[in-house]
Structure 1
Amino acid sequence: MVKLLQVGNLKAEKNEKAYGFWKIAETPSTDIALPIILINGKGDGPTLCITAGSKPCVYAGIEAGIRISKLINPEELNGKLIICPVIDIPSFNTITSDVCAIDLKPIPREPRETGSISNIIGKARRKLISMADYAIDLHGGDLDENLIEGIVISGWTGDIGYDEKVINLVKWFRPKAWQRKPALMTKTIPSILIESGGGGKLEEGQIDFHIQGLINVMKGLKMIDGEPKSSIPPDFVYGIGQRFELRAGRGGIYYSKVSAGDHLEKGQVIGTIGNLFGDTVETLTSPVTGRIIAYWDENKVLNTGDIIGVVYASDTETDYTIKPPKG
């Protein structure tokens, strides 16, 4: 087993913690460098990579990444932690939502060798993950987006051993809602994506959901002492069933009637759009019985075609042993 943990010029020997910046690119006047915390445990165990800030204004996940790096000491750790609390650092610095502030493109999850800054950042993120045995990405809603609290998103590969490892991560995180991707995915390392927090807010409850989930995962992986809390059935399971995007048919001011996470009946009024003379020009209703998962209700001024929300019907099978979709 390799004892040294290293990212760029940053090194942590056995039973050490190190932190600093990993330079990955340059602008004409500054370096582009990602904040990295390495914790190399005293005992042997798996390597867990924790990333946040791929969407740079999702502050609950970013703060959770910072706090977990302070909570875990190498003397108490079996294995290694690689933590990057802010992946899209250019956009974090400029409070730019959704896209990289330099090339105005989102940070890609899949390899795209175009050479632009967003792709260089994406490649750096994949490099960190490739060093680990497990990966957890902390997400949430962006500046204008609210989400149902406590979502864990996972995929399937069809490899039973691999998929069981992913399901264990989901169980240990104890989600309030579980989204399963509807198609088979390429096998890399067992990983999950967490969604909690949004609207540009830094709320303790959302931060704590991330932190408590991470601690429970580390207990489950036997990286720290203690038994993991037992899994709980999520309140809502979705992703394989019907998905509907709600978009504005008219321009105007949006008046919401619901909140992210609300249960909706088919035909229930979600909100209305009014014109600048105070007239209602459109009434939006739920196309299905289910829940509104992502909700851009912070965005009050709408143009025709702007997204307002995403509604999912509940999946009919909701336990953790469901077979992966065919594909």
Structure 2
Amino acid sequence: MKNVAIIYHSGYGHTRTQAEAVRDGVRSVPGVHAALIAVEEHADNWEVLDTADAIIFGTPTYMAGVSAPFKAFLDASSDRWARQEWKDKLAAGFTNSAGANGDKLATLQQLALFAMQHGMVWVGLGLLPGNTTSSGSAEELNRLAGFLGAMAQSLTDLGPEVAPTTSDRRTAEHLGRRVARIALGWQGPHRAQRHGGRGDAGGTGMSAALTDPDPVTRAEIERTLACYFDGLHHSDTGLLAQVFHPGAVYATATDGALTRLTMDEYFPVVDARPSPASRGEQRHDSVVSVHLAGPVTAIAVVTCTIGPKHFTDLLSLIRVGHRWQIISKVFHYDLDTTEEPTPCPT
């Protein structure tokens, strides 16, 4: 199943009508799912956008450009731009205004340039202009002669139940259908590596499934890991609660039997023990490796020492909102037999 996200802003309902027509076009293609997102709700839908195979952007044309709420969304995507999380996704756009022209081309150009900065692949309308002869009709598709995206006109004295016109709605539906059809055959970001790519490890593709993070992403993950190390060294569950997701699990089988704790069970253990810092222990923290399985999923291998135990932790991380959190901790430890063992887990 391919996923197409349609994110839009509508001041008076007309661009929403256009967005719904785009959605209907996407839905008409078997094997493609459409998600319609009002731009006011973008903060709750980053994951939908991040995992989509294509994103179609829609906004009214206000003062020769995108509307202010839509521009705020474009600016809010800058952290994804820094990590190029949307690179190689498909992109397309649509816009609406009261005038037949209304400088709608400038808005579509702004959307296309935005997509180019993200490294996305733009899909145009793919229609010849309609209503260009004396025998033509305003009911023909692409009557406003747009090529970069779908254009629509909504007269100011007509409500969204009437405007945009039927032909403009059908043109928007065509755009959605075109993007959906192209998405069916589109590999998209990292898809060739995750599905069907042959890695070096016996042809299983596993080595190709993990990638090195870009510098910005690695720095974000390492900030989480630094807080994790600080929390362990000082037995500070307040710090640990910042880096562990509330649903995280802790597991080890080093002693021969599985120990599995929730965070509600793990944190009291940490609170009850003397901290390594209070015992004057030197820190031996290190990050062995960090790899990404996707834009919001990572695995880190780290080591640390607490008392006589030398730990190797496998930390699975997910990006929730604007921060990375540990969702699982699986570890092994070796004992330094020159010291008295301690029963306290990390």
Q: TM-score, normalised by structure 1?
A: 0.30
Q: Which has the higher helix share?
A: 2
Report 1 or 2 for greater relative contact order, CA contacts < 8 Å, sequence distance ≥ 6: 1
Q: TM-score, normalised by structure 2?
A: 0.29
